[in-house]
C-alpha cells in the first residue's frame, strides 16, 4: 500500500501527489492531507486497484482536485474540494476510465469544469455529496451500456455559476 496521511503539500510546479501503477499496482491510502496551490492536479492516480481518498483538503490547484485514470475499487470519502481550474473529481475523461468506485460525503465547490466528471466501464455510486457553484455541469457520468451507475441523495446547486 502507498500511505500518505497528515501531510501539507503546497506550491509545487506539478501535481501535489502523483501515483502511477507501472510495475506494481498501487493501493493508495490518502487521508487527512492538505494539498493546495500546486501547478497541476492536487492528486493524480493511474492504475490503482483498491484504496481510499479520505478527509483531504484540496484547494486552489491549477488542474483537477482528484484526477483518475484506469482506477478501480476506490473509495473517495469526506473530502473538501474547492477552487480548481479543472474538475473536482475526474475519472477517465482524457484516458482509460475505470469503475467499482464509491464517491460519498464530499464537498465539491467552485470547479473550473464539471464538478464531478466520470467516464466509467464499471459500477459507480455517488451518494451524499454536496456539489455547488461549478462553472459547468454539477455531475457528469458517461458509462458503457451495461454499467451500473447509482446516484443517491446528492445535493447539486448553482451549476454553471462560475
* pLDDT tens digits, one per residue of 143-157: 888 889 999 999 999
φ, ψ at 126 (rounded to 5°)? -115, 120
Length of the chain: 162
Q: How far is CA 48 from CA 20, 110, 130, 140, 146, in A?
A: 7, 27, 25, 22, 22
User: Is residue 159 pLDDT above 90, yes or no?
Assistant: no
Q: How far is CA 113 from CA 51, 52, 65, 106, 109, in A?
A: 26, 24, 11, 17, 11
Strands of the sheet with 34-36, listed across from one edge: 8-10, 34-36, 57-59, 80-84, 107-111, 130-132, 155-157
% of the chain beyond a pLDDT of 70: 93
Measured between alpha carbons, how far apart are the two ends of the chain, in Å? 38
Residue 154's pLDDT is what? 97
Residue 162's pLDDT is what? 47
| Over residues 26-48, mean pLDDT | 93
User: Is residue 13 pLDDT above 70, yes or no?
Assistant: yes
Question: Could you give the CA distance from residue 89 to residue 35 in angstroms, rounded to a whole number?
Answer: 14
Amino acid at each position: 500500500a502507498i500511505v500518505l496521511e497528515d501531510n501539507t503539500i503546497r506550491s509545487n510546479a506539478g501535481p501535489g501527489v502523483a501515483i502511477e501503477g507501472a510495475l506494481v499496482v498501487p493501493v493508495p491510502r490518502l487521508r487527512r492531507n492538505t494539498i493546495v496551490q500546486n501547478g497541476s492536479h492536487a492528486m493524480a492516480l493511474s492504475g490503482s486497484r483498491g484504496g481510499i481518498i479520505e478527509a483531504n483538503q484540496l484547494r486552489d490547484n491549477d488542474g483537477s482536485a482528484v484526477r483518475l485514470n484506469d482506477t478501480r475499487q476506490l473509495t473517495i470519502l469526506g473530502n473538501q474540494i474547492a477552487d480548481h481550474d479543472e474538475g473536482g473529481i475526474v475519472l477517465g475523461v482524457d484516458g482509460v476510465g475505470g469503475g467499482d468506485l464509491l464517491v460519498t460525503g464530499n464537498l465539491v465547490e467552485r470547479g473550473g469544469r464539471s464538478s464531478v466528471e466520470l467516464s466509467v466501464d464499471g459500477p459507480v455510486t455517488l451518494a451524499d455529496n454536496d456539489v455547488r457553484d461549478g462553472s459547468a455541469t454539477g455531475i457528469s457520468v458517461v458509462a458503457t451500456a451495461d454499467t451500473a451507475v447509482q446516484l443517491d441523495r446528492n445535493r447539486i446547486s448553482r451549476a454553471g455559476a462560475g
